[in-house]
Every structure is written in structure tokens, then in C-alpha cells.
């Protein structure tokens, strides 16, 4: 019997995962410090990214949420909207969506078969193949527009071959410092690499160390620049575990009263500000109106399949999972946890081995029971080592051989009114949602 489509798809994805470097699994050795491979692939494929307009989104934190928000608003306008993100949680195809629908398994199989003649000469990485696949899929599907999230950094990222309508940089914080630099201006310089000649750019947050870098690059590229937080201010009015309602001010005037968003976590306010500033700039091109903003943000998860951000995945005991994995992200998550009522806090925690853990561990609450676990990827930090390092910061608990074991133990030990938080790494969250 010939293999089924599902079997062929699984074999294709396994080939991509195992044969070629993949940053989220293996780390620094998969990071290619130039764009020659993706350019060669684009030459081979006929530059499919030129077939649709796109918005390019970079940043240390919030770029995924912001990309989903912009996509949801465009979808609400009735536009056939592509969305490229990384990494994925459960299904490789989460990386490439059209109007929230995962790309076809048949396309994955056929695409890799089509580029086989180029694999031996170009030797593209996992991510380079995936970027090329996304551009080809959006072209083949005749997307009206695509929102493209940067994988890592900006200047040397494979997505940076595009010439977008708009560039967006959410914020700058310390992450991937061994690749992008160990100061905020150096990291900002890498992110600023997505600023293109004459293309408007939105910066989400004004920071005294990074703002001069962005202003200088924008001036050099004749790119109009706007800082979202200098114009938009979102204030939380009410929130539960499914929605957050914001009053949004534009230059001090209430612009969107009671804007209901299908997001949880007041920490999303900065992302809302950035997304609204971006939408404002592209609104004339796509005839976006207030109703599209309200419909898009109010139905965000059903429209775009956003997962892994302050996700309520179980009740009684309540389980929240969040993908924050660096200092700035963890700080926001811990602040948000302080707003949640519970009797006792349980934290299932896992990290990757190439992070500077001290800054993150110092932020985590000591009044919690910890369940240390190793994510099921090569970069996952050994649970016993994580437990040892955490003890220096007063964080105590047990180490488990897998995330699933740690999660099951937390479920067993938590009372009905307790709260279980799962985090520390995208890859830990991926194993429970």
C-alpha cells in the first residue's frame, strides 16, 4: 500500500526537523549569519514574496501577539490574510496560516519535493525552508496581504528579504544576547535591520537606549518613524480569563472606549498600542475602519488561532500557561500573576540551556511550589540543574524527568482553589496546551 498523505507529511516534517539545523531545537549552531541561502532559494522559486503586500514585525517580546492582532483586523476587513510566525507549539503548520487556517499537508509535502533539486546545492536550514514555504504558499493562494513575524533578530533574519508596506518593532529587551549583542543599542541595531528605504516604521516602546538607534536608522533610510507609546495609551478597564477590555486614548483623547479584546493579561496593553498604531498607518491602503478593529480584536483567537499567551487551559484547579521566556516577559507575567486570586501557587518551570537564568529566576515568586522539568528538545536545561540554580534564589520544589510528569504532579497536589502556572519556555508550554 502506498503511504497516506498524513504519513508522507509526517515523513517530510521529520526530514526537515532532523536533517537540517533548527534554531529552536539546537540553538546557536543553527543561526546563519547571512541571508545568502534564502536569497538563493528565492532565486530558485522566482521570488514569490513579491506577489503580495506584507507587514514585517520584529521585537524582543510581543511580536507574535502583535502580528496576530494586525492579522485579525485585516481578516475582519474580509482580506485573504497570510500570517507567518515561529516557533510552533503542537503542529508545524501553525507557522503558516491563511485566514487562521493551517496550510495544507499536501502543500508541505509537494513544496519540499519541489525544492529537492536545490537542497544539495543551497543546503538551507529548517527555518530558511519554512520561510520559503510560507512565501510560496501565500503566493499560490493569492493572499491579499501577509503579516510576517521575524524569527530572530532582524537584520540577518531570513524573512528580511521582503520589502514590506510597514515595518513594526515592538520593543527591545535582553534575549539571545550571544547572537544579537549584549547591550540594548546592539540588540536594537539588529532589530533596526528590518527598516527599509522609504518604508514607514512603528516602534512600540520608547526606550532611551534604543530610540536613538531607531531614529538614526530611520533617517538613514528615509523611513517615516513613529513611536506607538507616544500617541496611544491603553488602560485596562476590566478583564477575565477570556477577554480584556481597554480604554484606548490617542494623543490624550479617548479613541476606543471599552475596546474588548479576546486576550487575557493586562500586559498586552503595550502590544495593543503597537498594533493600533500599525493599523492606523495601513488603514488607508486597506480601507480599515473602527468596526474591523473591534471585530478583529474581539474575535482574535477564533480568527487567527492564537495560543500560548496567558492561556487558561484548565479549571479547578485553574491552570494558566504563558510563553514568556526572557527577563522582560517573565517580569510582565509575574506582575499579572499578582492580579490573579488563588489559595496557593504551583509553578511548572522549564528553561532552555542557552539563557542567562539569573535575571529570570530572581523575578519569580518564592512563595510557590515548583515543579522543575526539562523541555523535550536538545536545548532543554536539565531539571536537576534548573532546580539547583533556582535554589540560590529561594525557589524550592522537585525535579521531574519530563514536563508531562511535572504537570501531572502539579495537578495531583493542587487544591481546587489553587493556581498552576506553566512557563519559562515556549517549549514547556507546548507540551501541556
How many Cβ atoms from other residues are within 10 Å of residue 27's Cβ? Answer: 19
- Please check whether residue 422 is in contact with residue 407, taking contact to mean a CB–CB distance below 8 angstroms: yes
- Please check whether residue 261 is in contact with residue 272, taking contact to mean a CB–CB distance below 8 angstroms: yes
What cell numbers appear for 115 in the block?
525544492
What cell numbers appear for 88 in the block?
510552533
Distance (Å) of CA 340 to CA 61, 240, 417, 421 = 22, 9, 11, 11
Looking at residue 100, the DSSP 8-state letter turns out to be: T
Strand order from edge to edge, sheet including 397-400 = 311-314, 318-321, 419-423, 345-349, 369-373, 397-400
CA 154 to chain centre: 14
Q: So what's the architecture of 311-430 in CATH?
A: Alpha-Beta Complex (3.90)
Q: What is the pLDDT of residue 27?
A: 45
Residue whose grid cell is 501531572:
408
Q: What is the pLDDT of residue 400?
A: 96
Mean model confidence pLDDT for the chain: 91
How many Cβ atoms from other residues are within 10 Å of residue 384's Cβ? Answer: 13
Q: What is the pLDDT of residue 175?
A: 55
**Rounded Cα gap, residues 261 and 273, in angstroms:** 12
Dump pLDDT digits (tens) for 39-93: 999 999 999 999 999 999 999 888 999 999 999 999 999 999 999 999 899 899 9
| Alpha helix ranges (H) inside 287-363 | 290-298, 300-304, 327-337, 357-361
Q: What is the pLDDT of residue 96?
A: 98
- Please check whether residue 63 is in contact with residue 150, taking contact to mean a CB–CB distance below 8 angstroms: yes
Dump pLDDT digits (tens) for 217-246: 999 999 999 999 999 999 999 988 889 999
What cell numbers appear for 69 in the block?
492582532
Geometric angle at alpha carbon 34, from 115 and 160, rounded to 5°: 75
All CATH 3.40.1190.10 domain ranges of the chain, comma separated, are 5-304
β-pairing verdict for 345-349 and 369-373:
parallel
Longest dimension (CA), the chain: 67
Class of domain 5-304 as given by CATH: alpha beta
- Please check whether residue 368 is in contact with residue 320, taking contact to mean a CB–CB distance below 8 angstroms: no
Q: What is the pLDDT of residue 152?
A: 81
What cell numbers appear for 195 in the block?
527598516
pLDDT (tens, 9 = 90+) of the chain, 433 residues, equals 889 999 999 999 988 887 655 544 444 444 456 789 999 999 999 999 999 999 999 998 889 999 999 999 999 999 999 999 998 998 999 999 999 999 999 999 999 999 998 988 998 888 999 999 999 999 999 999 999 999 887 888 999 999 999 999 998 876 544 445 568 888 899 899 999 999 999 999 999 989 999 999 999 999 999 999 999 999 999 988 889 999 999 999 999 999 999 988 767 899 999 999 999 999 999 999 999 999 999 999 999 999 988 889 999 899 999 988 788 788 888 988 988 899 999 999 999 887 778 889 999 999 999 999 998 888 889 999 999 999 999 999 999 999 999 999 999 999 999 999 999 988 899 999 8
All CATH 3.90.190.20 domain ranges of the chain, comma separated, are 311-430
Amino acid at each position: 500500500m502506498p503511504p497516506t498523505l498524513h504519513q508522507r507529511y509526517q515523513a517530510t516534517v521529520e526530514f526537515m526537523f532532523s536533517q537540517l539545523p533548527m534554531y529552536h531545537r539546537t540553538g546557536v549552531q543553527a543561526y546563519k549569519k547571512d541571508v545568502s541561502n534564502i536569497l538563493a532559494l528565492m532565486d530558485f522559486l522566482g521570488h514569490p514574496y513579491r506577489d503580495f503586500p506584507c507587514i514585517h514585525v520584529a521585537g524582543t517580546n510581543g511580536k507574535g501577539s502583535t502580528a496576530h492582532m494586525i492579522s485579525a483586523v485585516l481578516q475582519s476587513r474580509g482580506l485573504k490574510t497570510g500570517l507567518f510566525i515561529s516557533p510552533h507549539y503542537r503542529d508545524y503548520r501553525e507557522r503558516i496560516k491563511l485566514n487562521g487556517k493551517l496550510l495544507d499537508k499536501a502543500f508541505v509535502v509537494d513544496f519540499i519535493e519541489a525544492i529537492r533539486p536545490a537542497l544539495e546545492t543551497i543546503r538551507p536550514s529548517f527555518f530558511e525552508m519554512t520561510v520559503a514555504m510560507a512565501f510560496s504558499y501565500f503566493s499560490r493562494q493569492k493572499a491579499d496581504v501577509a503579516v510576517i513575524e521575524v524569527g530572530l533578530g532582524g537584520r540577518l533574519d531570513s524573512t528580511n528579504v521582503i520589502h514590506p508596506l510597514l515595518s513594526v518593532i515592538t520593543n527591545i529587551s535582553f534575549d539571545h544576547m550571544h547572537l544579537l549583542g549584549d547591550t540594548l543599542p546592539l540588540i536594537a541595531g539588529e532589530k533596526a535591520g528590518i527598516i527599509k528605504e522609504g518604508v514607514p516604521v512603528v516602534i512600540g516602546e520608547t526606550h532611551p537606549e534604543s530610540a536613538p538607534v531607531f531614529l538614526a536608522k530611520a533617517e538613514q533610510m528615509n523611513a517615516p518613524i513613529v513611536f506607538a507609546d507616544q500617541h496611544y495609551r491603553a488602560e485596562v478597564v476590566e478583564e477575565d480569563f477570556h477577554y480584556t477590555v481597554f480604554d484606548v486614548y490617542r494623543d490624550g483623547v479617548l479613541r476606543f472606549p471599552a475596546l474588548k479584546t479576546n486576550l487575557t493579561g493586562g500586559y498586552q496593553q503595550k502590544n495593543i498600542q503597537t498594533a493600533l498604531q500599525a493599523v492606523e498607518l495601513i488603514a488607508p491602503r486597506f480601507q480599515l475602519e473602527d468596526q474591523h478593529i473591534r471585530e478583529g480584536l474581539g474575535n482574535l483567537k477564533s480568527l487567527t488561532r492564537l495560543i500560548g499567551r496567558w492561556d487558561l487551559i484548565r479549571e479547578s484547579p485553574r491552570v494558566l500557561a504563558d510563553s514568556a521566556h526572557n527577563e522582560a516577559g517573565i517580569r510582565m507575567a509575574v506582575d499579572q500573576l499578582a492580579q490573579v486570586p488563588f489559595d496557593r501557587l504551583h509553578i511548572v518551570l522549564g528553561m532552555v540551556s542557552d539563557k542567562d537564568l539569573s535575571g529570570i529566576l530572581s523575578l519569580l515568586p518564592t512563595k510557590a511550589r515548583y515543579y522543575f522539568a526539562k523541555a523535550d528538545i536538545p536545548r532543554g536545561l536539565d531539571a536537576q540543574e534548573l532546580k539547583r540554580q533556582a535554589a540560590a534564589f529561594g525557589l524550592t520544589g522537585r525535579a521531574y524527568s519530563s514536563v508531562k510528569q511535572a504537570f501531572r504532579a502539579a495537578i495531583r497536589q493542587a487544591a481546587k482553589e489553587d493556581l498552576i502556572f506553566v512557563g519559562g519556555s515556549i517549549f514547556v508550554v507546548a507540551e501541556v496546551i
